[in-house]
Chains A and B, each alone.
Chain A
């Protein structure tokens, strides 16, 4: 099997490399990919949408349908992780740790969560006291990562950035919190329901903005029709429409990243994990 696979791979690679010989030269401005549609985007974007970042304009405006369904693909991925893994049966075996002394209480068979005082904390089975340096550094770092993520979303029209990137950065800050402290800290801060609602609301914002354009007299996703609803210069209405859409994308991506991470590391029980 391995040998057969190797032969298949070599043949395919040789075929692809043979095809490479016919490609246009590296960086050739006259290559077919750079001559037809992309020139139109580059020359007309600022004039038509007032958005300097062409990538964002193409992503959220010219190819808005594509991005809408990409967002729903991501939503569906989060939903799939939830449906495949989520396990609502609680573990009966619990561990509590007395904070001042470090004595660990092992409860083997309890139906309910024990009511313990503030001196005890509910810990994981393979509990390792977190490192002070790592905890402190992450505690300082996480707010800055999140502000940077918000900047990337909000400034996506004018500089590199956008909803997908900002959402991923924000999601990674949540994952960093779960890694540096423990999973319970993250799940307590952001409830599962809130994450699910965020993911759905993100997609809803996108589709909602696209749909509002229809009663205003335009086509689906034609942000130009939003002008009566939005303050400011009517020429910038497309930029504002894109910003709204990007916020929706960012919300959905952020929530889905966290949902995927929490479900996979805890095998769906949301109690303990990485």
Chain B
């Protein structure tokens, strides 16, 4: 335990991402309600976003907007001063796409509810076997 604690503190954001991701994964596997499964998927996506942003961080660096006037006085831009922009770009699109996929999942859930009057998986399976 004594040697585990500094390990957690040194990389606590990675631990948080693993915990969040496992919460989402558990919800997707074990929950019975379809909406809860979708919410689990969203938590999973949030964990991925946290992971990517953790990768992009650099100590003593600022956000990736270069501080030069756009009239182009050529100041030297040091890569150490700015955090990694690439994970931010990837996650920027991932967030919006996750909203869009969430919308599609909700639309499917509405259709399923209209047809079977339930969103519980075991009841759905029962209704499907009845037909």
Contact = CB atoms under 8 A, between A and B. Distances in A.
A80 interface: yes
Contacts of B56: 33-34, 38
B29 A8 contact: yes
B39 interface: no
Contact of A20 (B14, B87, B89, B96): B14
A239 B106 CA distance: 37
A81 B82 contact: no
- The size bracket of the interface on A is 35 or more
B97 A74 contact: yes
Contact of A267 (B57, B86, B114): B114
Contacts of A261: 103
A29 B80 contact: yes
A70 B87 contact: no
Contact of B58 (A29, A46, A74, A80): A29
How big is chain B's contact interface, by range?
35 or more
A55 interface: yes
Contacts of A54: 64-66, 82, 85
A5 B56 CA distance: 32
A23 B100 contact: no
Contacts of A39: 79
Contacts of A186: none
Nearest to B103: A260
Given A26-B54, A33-B56, A264-B110, A77 B68 contact: no
A128 B55 CA distance: 49
A113 B131 CA distance: 38
Interface string A107-147: 00000000000000000000000000000000000000000
6 contacts: A5-B30, A26-B54, A42-B79, A58-B89, A85-B111, A235-B72
Interface of B: 7, 10-11, 13-15, 18-19, 21-22, 25-26, 29-30, 54-59, 61, 63-68, 70, 72, 74, 77-80, 82, 84-89, 92-93, 95-97, 99-101, 103-104, 106-108, 110-111, 114
Interface of A: 1-2, 5-6, 8-10, 12-13, 16-17, 20-21, 23, 25-29, 31, 33-34, 37-39, 41-43, 45-47, 50-55, 58-59, 63, 66-67, 70, 73-74, 77-78, 80-81, 84-85, 158-160, 162, 164-165, 167-168, 235-236, 239, 253, 256-257, 260-261, 263-264, 267-268
A-B pairs, 7 with minimum CB distance: A77-B100, A260-B103, A5-B29, A27-B59, A5-B30, A39-B79, A54-B64
